[in-house]
């Protein structure tokens, strides 16, 4: 990339690219760990492996979005595309959570990873909206399991959670509090970082004028 083109790129955008690339590397490591865990603990479940492959495809979609953003230079289009990816990511994650134990699945942390990812693009408002969507997906999954619309996972912990409306509500409430806490913290820090980079960029422009 030519030097003058690099100098015209906003500082916050350069910082965003750097952090999102590290985040993608982290996500691929998570997928690798998940594959190993599935092979060890769910060796006969082809459905879980398929969902993990889909999860990896969604992660690759983030790389495609970054490439698209570099070409068109339109942040609005990128945010729209990113929102669609988040929807499908939450859908795949809910499938993984259901297949690996429902309300007691260890894969629930994937929701938190999606919220952290959204903080790099949407800041505080976006993380809250992502947490709301994740909570709805999780709550609907529990409700469908409880009412028999979808099969129950059959694990001891999931049966305990689905044993009564009270335990069902308690589990949904605890998980929603956890997700919203992550959303507020990550969104607030991301927004502060964005404001700080904007100020640095303004200071840089003022110094160049002088």
Any long-range contacts for 128-131 (C-beta under 8 Å, 24+ apart)?
A: 128/180, 128/183, 128/184, 128/187, 130/86, 130/90, 130/183, 131/176, 131/179, 131/180, 131/182, 131/183
Whole-number average pLDDT of the chain: 78
Domain hosting 66: range is 3-209
Predicted confidence (pLDDT) per residue in 38-74, tens digit: 777 777 777 777 877 787 777 777 666 666 665 555 5
User: What is the average per-residue pLDDT within 191-199?
Assistant: 69
Q: Kindly tell me if the per-residue pLDDT of 106 is higher than 80.
A: yes
Q: Kindly tell me if the per-residue pLDDT of 35 is higher than 80.
A: no
Q: Kindly tell me if the per-residue pLDDT of 140 is higher than 90.
A: yes
Q: How many domains does the chain have?
A: 1
């Amino acid at each position: 990339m030519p030097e003058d083109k690099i100098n015209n790129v906003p500082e916050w955008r350069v910082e965003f690219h750097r952090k999102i690339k590290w985040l993608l590397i982290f996500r691929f490591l998570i997928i690798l760990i998940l594959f190993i865990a599935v092979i060890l603990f769910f060796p006969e479940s082809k459905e879980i492996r398929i969902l993990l492959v889909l999860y990896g495809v969604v992660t690759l979609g983030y790389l495609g979005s970054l490439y698209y953003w570099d070409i068109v230079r339109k942040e609005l289009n990128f945010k729209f595309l990113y929102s669609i990816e988040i929807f499908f990511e939450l859908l795949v994650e809910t499938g993984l959570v259901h297949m690996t134990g429902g309300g007691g699945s260890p894969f629930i942390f994937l929701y938190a990873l999606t919220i952290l990812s959204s903080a790099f693009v949407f800041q505080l408002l976006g993380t809250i909206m992502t947490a709301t969507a994740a909570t709805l997906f999780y709550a609907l999954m529990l409700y469908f399991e409880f009412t028999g619309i979808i099969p129950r996972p059959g694990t001891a912990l999931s049966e305990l959670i689905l044993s009564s409306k009270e335990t069902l509500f308690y589990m949904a409430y605890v998980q929603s509090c956890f997700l919203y806490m992550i959303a507020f913290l990550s969104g607030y820090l991301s927004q502060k970082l964005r404001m700080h980079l904007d100020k640095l960029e303004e200071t840089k422009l003022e110094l160049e004028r002088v």
